[in-house]
């Protein structure tokens, strides 16, 4: 794995550097509070050690589910709003060719997004694109009742079932939701969908390294193991005992 080192020394004037270093004690106190877990919002600190807590079993399960969709689909629609889709979207945009849709041959399904708005034109055009195409769905919702993704899923689920039948459709729908409660959990259990869990202590904006982000990224053909490996390296680089000037997250927060 290659690493990128960033040296901001020359970007800082003397006054800016002194101001940055003066923020070190406050930044170091904040880091200690985070790692002790005794500050405000401490029930949502699951992201802090998320990269290193991802197990081999979970990675293999995500890869298997991605293969299940890749073997059946040319398009996979990830349904979600806010952090439930933005993390995956950001990673895919960073890693992919801007004009990937114009390439003559793709080695993995095209990942599209729905449920981030209720624009009728967007949904109509998406459904038109999916007509007579082999597609699947990743439905991402903690509750299953958020209006925008619930509406999109209802429409796309019906279209998928109409095109391939209900039995085959359930092999092309994966739900990422609460472990035990909520409308989507109940539906997934009833219909027999493959499911993944959204961790209770990880907010949507920090969920890209959970199945919320890793599954769409894997479906698109990217190596999620390398992504996680890089995230673990950065977790270590931003650890509790790393000096302020060597901790890129602390320096960034202080600037």
Task: Give the domain CATH number at 129.
Answer: 3.40.50.10490
Long-range contacts (CB closer than 8 Å, 24 or more residues apart) made by 222-227? 222/91, 222/92, 222/95, 224/59, 224/62, 224/63, 225/59, 226/1, 227/91
In a domain, 59, yes or no: no
82 and 205, same domain (yes or no): yes
Taking alpha carbons only, the member of 250, 65, 74, 17 closest to residue 175 is 65
Q: Is residue 4 part of a domain?
A: no
The answer on 135 and 183 residing in a single domain is yes
* Tokens encoding 247: 């901790």
Sign of the four-CA dihedral 181, 57, 53, 113 = negative
- Do 22 and 135 lie in one domain? The reply is no
The count of domains in the chain is 2
- 187 and 81 in one domain? yes
Q: State which residues form the domain around 135.
A: 67-222
21 falls within a domain: yes
Confirm if 201 and 164 have CB atoms less than 8 A apart: no
pLDDT values of the chain reduced to their tens digit, one per residue, 255 residues: 778 877 777 777 777 778 888 999 999 999 999 999 998 888 899 999 999 999 999 999 999 999 999 999 999 999 999 999 999 999 999 998 877 666 656 789 999 999 998 889 999 999 999 999 999 999 999 999 999 999 999 999 999 999 999 999 999 999 999 999 999 999 999 999 999 999 999 998 999 999 999 999 999 999 999 999 999 999 999 999 999 989 999 988 887
Same domain, 86 and 111: yes
**Residue 100 contacts by C-beta under 8 Å, 6 or more apart in sequence?**
106, 110
Q: Per the domain annotation, does 50 fall within a domain?
A: no
- Give a yes or no: residue 54 inside a domain: no
Question: Within this chain, do residues 94 and 164 fall inside the same structural domain, yes or no?
Answer: yes
Residues 17 and 90 in one domain: no
Contact 209, 54 (CB under 8 A): yes
Residue 97 lies in a domain: yes
Strands (E), 151-254: 173-177, 194-197
Residues 143 and 209 in one domain: yes
What is the predicted pLDDT for the residue at 75?
Answer: 97
Taking the C-alpha atoms of residue 25 and residue 73, their distance in angstroms, rounded to an integer, is 52
* Shared domain check, 191 and 137: yes
Same domain for 79 and 202, yes or no, is yes
* 164 assigned to some structural domain: yes
Report d(CA 182, CA 177) in Å as an integer.
8
What does the pLDDT read at residue 100?
66
pLDDT value at residue 104: 58
Is the residue at 115 inside a domain?
yes
38 with 96, same domain? no
Same domain, 103 and 218: yes
- 81 burial (CB, 10 Å; 0-12 / 13-18 / 19+) is buried
**Which pLDDT score, from 0 to 100, does residue 101 have?**
60
């Amino acid at each position: 794995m290659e690493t990128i080192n960033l040296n901001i020394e020359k970007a800082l004037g003397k006054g800016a550097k002194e101001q940055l270093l003066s923020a070190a004690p406050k930044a170091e106190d904040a880091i200690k509070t985070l790692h002790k877990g005794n500050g405000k919002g401490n029930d949502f600190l699951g992201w802090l050690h998320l990269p290193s807590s991802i197990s081999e079993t979970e990675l293999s399960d995500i890869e298997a589910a991605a293969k299940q969709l890749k073997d059946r689909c040319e398009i996979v629609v990830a349904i979600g709003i806010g952090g439930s889709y933005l993390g995956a979207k950001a990673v895919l945009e960073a890693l992919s060719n801007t004009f990937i849709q114009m390439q003559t041959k793709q080695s993995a399904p095209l990942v599209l997004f729905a449920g981030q708005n209720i624009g009728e034109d967007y949904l109509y055009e998406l459904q038109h694109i999916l007509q007579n195409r082999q597609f699947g769905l990743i439905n991402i919702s903690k509750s299953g009742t958020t209006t925008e993704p619930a509406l999109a899923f209802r429409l796309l689920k019906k279209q998928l079932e109409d095109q391939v039948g209900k039995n085959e459709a359930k092999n092309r729908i994966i739900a990422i939701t609460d472990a035990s409660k909520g409308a989507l959990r109940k539906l997934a259990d009833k219909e027999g969908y493959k499911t993944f869990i959204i961790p209770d202590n990880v907010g949507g904006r920090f969920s890209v390294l959970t199945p919320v982000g890793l599954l769409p990224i894997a479906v698109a053909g990217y190596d999620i193991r390398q992504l996680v490996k890089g995230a673990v390296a950065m977790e270590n680089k931003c650890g509790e005992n790393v000096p302020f000037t060597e901790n890129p997250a602390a320096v960034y927060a202080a600037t």
